[in-house]
Structures are given as structure tokens and as C-alpha cells.
A and B are shown apart, each in its own frame.
Chain A
Amino acid sequence: MAYPIVETPRQLQRNRLRTSRRRQTTTHPAWFLLPAFAVLGVFFFLPTIFNFIYAFTDWSAFKNEINFIGFDNFSSLLSDGSLFSALRVTLIYAALVGILQNLFGLGLAVLFERDTRINRFARVIFFIPVLMSALAVGYIFQALLKPSGAVNGILEFFTGQHVDIAWLGDTTWTLLVVAFVNSWKWMGLAMIIFLAGLKTVPEDVLEAAKMDGAGPWKTFFRVKFPLLAPAVTFNFATALLGSLNGFDTVQATTGGGPAQTTEVLNIYIFQIFGYGLYAQATTMSLVLFFLVLVLAFPVVGYLRRRENVL
């Protein structure tokens, strides 16, 4: 019987892998995973599974028992229009935040790129809002943007006319204003991530661009910006996910108004939970889950691919 005395390289590799895997079970025991996965399982995954169950019940503050009622919650949310309106508002809000936050962050990063003392000071100043709570920031802007508030006061000073724009009372534009406020709060974070990205642009590439006669504008758009792709991915993904799941800024500035035009999903969940309609709140929470699932993976995937191409 021919028995291979000498192992083929392939077998050798397979055997080595097998022994190393077997060794891994003693050197890196699986029970070390237990505490983390127990917490994740019970307090993150289990409530998510509950979402799929209780969205189909009549769970509320007014009854003692919970019964299955099929798709009634969905049909009532569909028929009173709140499902589509909340979805639409959330999507527009998330898109606006994603765009504004990146624009502000990139603008600041480019302006503060050189390591001078003033620039370093400015970076610190613009990072302060990141550390404040979105609630606090929201209240500040609620006060600033009142019809008789400071922003209109400043506009009056410069235009010499009476200005009483209801920044937070417009059924069309207020959503943009709230997205602006949220982007103001987070632009410092986007800024430092873009700054870190700009630092990774190799010196010799910039030198080469200069030799080829590229001015500052061309250097930025043709050389630096494409190399910032990972920073754009990170910033856009975090802004998008953060604002799909957003609550604080909207609550503190408009509370969902005027006429529910800034009512994002979480505001809606918060309000109907307050009315004791828990099952409907759960249904909306499930809708949010699917919205994120449908949106986040393709968007992040697309941005990642763009990174690889460049």
C-alpha cells in the first residue's frame, strides 16, 4: 500500500491549519465570548426579535392582555398616512444631514488644513458642539431662530429692514433648517476626520502635481479629494445612520412640527409611545429597522466600491 511518507505541500498546509485551529480552542477559549454575546443577545437581539412579534399585536397601556391582530397596525399606519409621511421626512432629513455635514466638515478641514496656531485653535472651537448634547444644541438654536430671535436680529441689522422669518415654523423649509442644526452639531467630527484624511495624502504626490503645474484648486479636486474617499465613506455613513435614527435635535428644535413636517420616525415612536399605543410604536420601530437595513448596506457598499476604484 502506497502511503505518502512525505506530505504534499497542500496536505501540510491543511494539517497545520487543523492543528492551529485545534490549538486555538485551548489558547483562545470560546467562553471568553460568552459575557459579550450574552449581553448582545439579551439586550440587543432579543428586543429586535420582539419587534417582529409585537408589531402584530394590540399591546397597549389600556389593556392587560396582548392579542395577535395580524397586520392591523400596519394598515392603520398606512391608512392615516403617518407611515409614508414619517418615512419621507426621515429619508429627506437623513439625506440633507449626510450632504450638509460632509460639506461643512470638508470646508472646515480645507480651511484649517495647515498646522498654524490659529488653525489649531479653530479646530478645538469647532469641536465644542460635538461634545455638547444634541438636546442642548437644539434648545440654543430654537432660541436663536425664533421670529424675534437673534438670527433675524442680525439680518435686520445688515438689511436695515424688519425681518421676522419663522425659521422653525415653515412647512417646507424647516426640515432643511433642522438638518442644518444637526450638521452644525456634528461638523466638527466630520472636520477632524477629513483633516486626518488630508494628512494621509502623500507628500510626493502633491509634489508631482505641483511639478505638473496644478494650482491649488486643481490639486484639491484632482489629487486630494479622490484620496479622501475613505473619510467620505465614514462621514457619510455615520451621518446617514445617525440621522435615520435621529431624535434629539428634531425634538429640541421643532418637536416634529410645524404640521408634522419634521416628524421623523423616532419622533413618531416617541409620541405614540407616550399615548400608550405601544404596539403601533413597535410597528414604526420595525419600519425603521427595515429602512436602515434596506438603505445602509447598499449605501455603505457603494461608497466602499468607490474607494476601491480610486
Chain B
Amino acid sequence: MITAVVSYKRHKNLWVRFVQPVVVIALCVIAVGIPLWLALITSAKSQGEANLPDLSLPTSWHIVDNYVQAFTDGEVWRGLLGSLLVMVPSVIGVILFGSLAAWILARRSSRWASVLYAAAISGLILPPAVVTIVLLLRQLGLASSPAGMIFVYMGMYMSIVIFFITGFVRTIPIELEEAARIDGAKPLKIFFTIILPLLRPVIATATILVCLYIWNDVFYSFFVLGGGSTTTLQLNLFQIASSNLYQNNWNLIFAYVVISSLPLLIVFIFAQRRIISGITGGAVK
């Protein structure tokens, strides 16, 4: 009996001290390292060598050429500007309007409020009607414009913002508002001076998620911005890769993959703990 326990413990020690770390590192290298390595190393190869992408080192390095070409032919600056131009106003708008509405929805107890709340969060599940959005934007004169894209993103992600923030507002004691109200503060002032600052953690979560979706979106931006002068990094990548059919430019594609992934990865490195705890905070309650 005692020896059984001892051998179980020794067994467990062996697993914890040696086997598990080795398995973890091997998994990191194989499951994530190899795909990322392929992208990085192919982006440093000549066009001919990148034609058949593999994991080997390049015989001659073409890092500068490829990335310069990606910047010029792939219009990185224009794409980056476009991505920011649609993402920043969408996020600010959706967070501001969403938290304003969420405060009311959380504090009102009438049947109307609960019906409106259900309608507001239905977008969590329902897919956006992407084809008729194009028609609507044409009718409104917003087709292919950044403004149209911004409103479409706001409409798509309003639900997730209202869902997260309403849940959070319900945990804030109403006495905090009432104290200010007795001092004569108007609703708008109470919202901006008391509620909004308290919402900071949940706003961080919602911002991260919405940024992640908008930055990496290509489907909706293709429909909305297609044919216009505004473009995004992901649309540019899609364009470059679509021309791959007749000119085989894996080196350029992967240079572009690296460039378009870097901004979020850099943000992640600095705000890693925040981001992970932010996302999990909203999901499991």
C-alpha cells in the first residue's frame, strides 16, 4: 500500500518535472512554431524559391526586397490608414452608444426594457444580412465609403457591447448614482462622471474583442468597401493572394501576412495579461 503510494508519487513527479515540460515545448514548436516559421522564412525568400514553400532556409536572403515590394505594390500605408480609419471610429462609436444604452437597459425594470434588451442582443446570434447591406448603403449614398463601413461594423458589434456592458452595470450598486443625484447631477453627468469610469474593465474587454474582429475582417469589408478607394490591410492581403493564381508570389503573400499580423501581436505582447483576463472575464461567469 505504502509502496504503491510512493511509486504513484514518484510517477507523478516524473511527469510534472520532466515529461510535461518537454511535451509542452514540443507541442509549441510543432503546432504553432512550424506554421509561423513557414510564414516568416518564406517571406525572406526569392520569388522562385518561394514558389514551392517549405521550411528550409533561403539560399539567398530577400527580406528587404520582399518587404519593400509589399509596402509599394501592396500599399501597406494606405491599407494601414484604411484599417485604422474604419476601426477607430467604429470602436469608439459602438462603445459610447452601447454603454449609454446598456446603462438604461440595466437600470430600467419595465417590460419594454427587457424586450428592447432582447432585441439589442439578438445580433449575438443572428448573422448580418451582408448582401442587402450593400443595397442599403447605395440607397443612403454611403456605398464603398468609410462612413458606411463604420456604421455597418457598429451595427454588427452593438449587440456584443450591450450584452457585456449591461451585465456589468447590474453589478454596480445603484447607491453610487443616487448619491450624485441627490447632489443635483443630471443623468448625462452621472453617466460620464460615475458610470463610465466604473465600466473601464468591461469596456477594455469589449474593445479588445471588437478590435480583433474588425482588424481581421475581410468578408464584410469586401462587400462594403469593394470597388471604393478605401482599402484595409486584410483587403490588400486578399488582393495580393488572389493574384497569386497567375503569378505565384508566396514570398509577397507571407511578407504581407507578417506585416498585417504585427500590429495586433505587438499590442498583445504589451497588454498580454490584460487581454487574456479581459476576454475570460466576460465569458465564464
Q: Does B44 contact A (CB under 8 A)?
A: no
Residue A50 is within 8 A (CB to CB) of chain B in the complex: yes
State the majority secondary structure of interface residues on B.
helix
**Interface digits, B220-256 against A, CB 8 Å rule (1 contact, 0 not)?**
0011000000000010011001000000001001100
Assembly CA distance A36 to B285 (angstroms): 26
Q: Which of B31, B36, B222, B257 contacts A139 (CB under 8 A)?
A: B257
With CB as the reference atom, state the residue of chain A lying closest to B265.
A131
Segment with Cβ contacts to A, from B22-30, B59-67, B73-81, B197-205: B22-30
Tell me, in angstroms, the Cα distance from A116 to B24 when the chains sit together. 11
* Segment touching B, from A78-86, A94-102, A167-175, A288-296: A288-296
CA of A261 to CA of B136, assembled, Å = 32
- Chain A, residues 21-59, CB within 8 Å of chain B (1/0): the string is 100101111101101110110111011101100100001
CB-based contact B129/A269 at 8 Å = no
A143 touches B116 (CB 8 A): no
| Chain A residue nearest to B152 in the complex (CB) | A43
Find chain A residues with CB under 8 A from B254 CB. 139-140, 143
For residues 117 through 132 of chain B, which have their beta carbon under 8 Å from a beta carbon of chain A?
A: 119-120, 123, 125-132
Cβ B222 vs Cβ A270 within 8 A: yes
Residues of A within 8 A of B105 (CB): 33
In angstroms, Cα B129 to Cα A47, docked, is: 6
Asked whether B283 lies within 8 Å of A231 as measured between CB atoms, the reply is: yes
Number of A-B pairs, beta carbon distance below 8 Å: 264
Task: Give the interface size class of chain B.
Answer: 35 or more
Min CB–CB distance B127 → chain A (angstroms): 5
State whether A47 and B158 are in contact (beta carbons under 8 Å apart), knowing that A32-B103, A33-B104, A134-B216 are contacts in the complex: no
Known: A24-B109, A135-B237. A140 touches B276 (CB 8 A): no
Known: A40-B158, A111-B24, A273-B223. Is A231-B128 also a contact (CB below 8 A)?
Answer: no
Q: Does B34 contact A (CB under 8 A)?
A: yes
State the CA gap A294–B131 with chains docked (Å).
Answer: 21
Docked pose: A206 CA to B167 CA in angstroms:
30
What residue in chain B is nearest A198 (Cβ atoms)? B284
Q: How far is the CA of A123 from the CA of B32 in the complex (A)?
A: 11
Q: Are A136 and B237 in contact (CB under 8 A)?
A: yes
- At the interface, yes or no: B168 with Cβ under 8 Å from chain A? no
Question: Contact at B101–A32, with CB atoms within 8 Å?
Answer: yes
B-facing residues in A112-160 (Cβ within 8 Å): 112, 114, 116, 118-119, 121-137, 139-141, 143-144, 146, 148-150, 153
B84 in contact (CB, < 8 A): no
Partner of A111, one of B23, B101, B103: B23
Say whether, besides A32-B103, A136-B257, A143 and B42 are in contact (CB < 8 Å): yes
Q: Does B20 contact A (CB under 8 A)?
A: yes
User: What separation, in Å, do the CA atoms of A248 and B237 have in the docked complex?
Assistant: 12
Are the CB atoms of B104 and A30 closer together than 8 Å? yes
A285 interface residue, CB < 8 Å from B?
Answer: yes
Query: For A285, what are the chain B residues with a Cβ–Cβ distance below 8 Å?
Result: 127, 129-132
Q: A22 to B280, alpha carbons, bound, how many Å?
A: 37
Bound CA–CA A127/B28 (angstroms)? 11
B48 within 8 A of A: no
A270 to B221, CA, bound (A): 12
Establish whether residues A135 and B125, one from each chain, have CB atoms under 8 Å apart when the complex forms.
no
Which size class do A's interface residues fall under? Answer: 35 or more
Q: How far is the CB of B102 from chain A (nearest CB, A)?
A: 8
Complex interface residues of chain B between 67 and 118 (CB less than 8 A to chain A)? 93-94, 96-98, 100-101, 103-105, 107-110, 116
- Name the residue on B nearest A295 (C-beta): B125
Contact with A along B249-285 (1 / 0, CB 8 A): 0100110010011001100100010001001110111
A189 CB within 8 Å of chain B: yes
| Binary per-residue interface labels of chain A (166-207) against chain B in the complex, 1 for a CB within 8 Å, 0 otherwise | 000000000000000000100001001101110010000000
Take A28-B107, A51-B132, A134-B216 as given contacts and tell me if A292 and B126 are in contact as well, using a CB distance cutoff of 8 Å. Answer: yes
Is A241's CB within 8 Å of the partner chain B? Answer: yes
| Identity of the chain B residue whose Cβ is nearest the Cβ of A228 in the assembled complex | B284
B49 at the interface (CB under 8 A from A): no
Q: A140-B35, A192-B279, A196-B283 are in contact. Are A128 and B129 (CB under 8 A)?
A: no
Counting CB contacts under 8 A, is B181 at the interface? yes
A30 to B105, CA, bound (A): 9
B133, B181, B215, B260: residue with the most chain A Cβ atoms closer than 10 Å = B133
Contact A111 B187 (CB under 8 A): no
Across the interface, A39 reaches (CB within 8 A) one of B42, B151, B223, B279, namely B151
Q: Known contacts A111-B23, A144-B38; can you find 18 more A-B pairs with CB under 8 A?
A: A20-B109, A24-B108, A24-B109, A24-B110, A36-B101, A36-B158, A42-B136, A48-B126, A54-B131, A111-B27, A118-B25, A126-B28, A128-B32, A130-B212, A134-B218, A140-B38, A150-B54, A192-B279
> B residues bordering A, Cβ < 8 Å?
12, 16, 20-21, 23-25, 27-28, 31-36, 38-39, 42, 52-55, 93-94, 96-98, 100-101, 103-105, 107-110, 116, 119-120, 123, 125-136, 151-152, 154-156, 158-159, 162, 177, 181, 187, 191, 212, 215-216, 218-219, 222-223, 234, 237-238, 241, 250, 253-254, 257, 260-261, 264-265, 268, 272, 276, 279-281, 283-285
23 A-B residue pairings within 8 Å (CB atoms): A32-B103, A39-B158, A47-B136, A48-B126, A48-B132, A125-B33, A128-B268, A131-B265, A133-B215, A136-B39, A137-B35, A140-B254, A143-B53, A144-B35, A149-B54, A184-B31, A192-B276, A234-B283, A266-B219, A285-B130, A286-B129, A289-B127, A293-B126
